[in-house]
Amino acid sequence: MTGVLPVTLEEATKTVQALLHSGKEYICVMKLHGDATEKRVGEVLKEFEDTIYQRPPLRASVKRQLRTRRIYYIDFLEKEKRNVLFKVGCEGGTYIRKLCYDIGEVLGCGAHMQELRRTRAGPFIENGDIVRLHDVAYWFMEWQQKKDERMLRKFIQPMENALTLIPKIYVRDSAVDAVCHGASLTAPGVVSIEGGVSKGSLVAVLTLKGEAVALARAVVATERVLNMEHGIVARVERVLMPRGTYPKAWRSGET
């Protein structure tokens, strides 16, 4: 199976949590074990555009308990004999092999996954900036020889790009170092916040220069944050920026 596999380097590895929650898109060839009309296949695919139940397969890296996964969309593209091509947008952790099996069961004839290509992993898509392993090896070697930073930009992106699909909160310089030390983000530190944050949302905390400071869990919704004068806005889950990047503007000890 091929396609979009974002690889995080060194410190950027702390952002994978955001990627795992950002959804995936695949193009799949499903092989039917019997005959079915194009119309019927299209109808059955649409039935799966919903919250579905899946038990992870025998060979899985997670506990095998029944879990729900959302299928955001599933679009029929083509059918040739018993091969069906479709596109599916789904929650991270959806097993497409299982999905094909289940579609086959509903169709009655049975089916299995023949080919799979991931066309999106969160904000990363297969068009434009996707690179192959040999591009990585080639541009890295070029960079080592010429020390021209443009070579690195041919295949590496800032980790902030991994956070583009989760809601963002921009904070003042004076709030940055406390967050780097794991302190909760409080209302006075917030400069701006994206809409759609609800209690419990995973959010990205960024500086006004656009640097990622931390991944955090919102305690209150966007609307509340805008009117808050004090109190906790989000609790830090993963610090992404090293301490001391911004000056310490908070007092320790007795308050």
Partner 1 sequence: MPRSLAPWEIERKLLVKAEDKTNPRYGCRPEERSAEEYIRYGVINLDKPAGPTSHEVAAWVKRILALQQVGHGGTLEA
Neighbours of 198 (CB within 10 A): 12
The yes or no reply on residue 2 touching partner 1 (CB under 8 A) is yes
Contact 41, 188 (CB under 8 A): no
| Distance in Å, CB of 253 to partner 1, minimum | 24
Please count the residues of the chain.
255
The yes or no reply on residue 104 touching partner 1 (CB under 8 A) is no
The yes or no reply on residue 116 touching partner 1 (CB under 8 A) is yes
The yes or no reply on residue 68 touching partner 1 (CB under 8 A) is no
The yes or no reply on residue 22 touching partner 1 (CB under 8 A) is yes
The yes or no reply on residue 200 touching partner 1 (CB under 8 A) is no
Structure tokens at 254: 């007795």
The yes or no reply on residue 179 touching partner 1 (CB under 8 A) is no
Which residues within the stretch 25-64 sit at the binding site for partner 1 (CB under 8 A)?
A: 25, 49-50, 61
Contact 12, 211 (CB under 8 A): no
Q: Residues 42, 56, 92, 110: which binds partner 1 (CB under 8 A)?
A: 92
The yes or no reply on residue 221 touching partner 1 (CB under 8 A) is no
| Distance in Å, CB of 77 to partner 1, minimum | 17
Which backbone phi and psi does 58 adopt, to 5 degrees?
-50, -45
Contact 119, 4 (CB under 8 A): yes
Contact 108, 14 (CB under 8 A): no
d(CA 79, CA 107): 14
Q: Residues 29, 85, 106, 156: which binds partner 1 (CB under 8 A)?
A: 156
The yes or no reply on residue 168 touching partner 1 (CB under 8 A) is yes
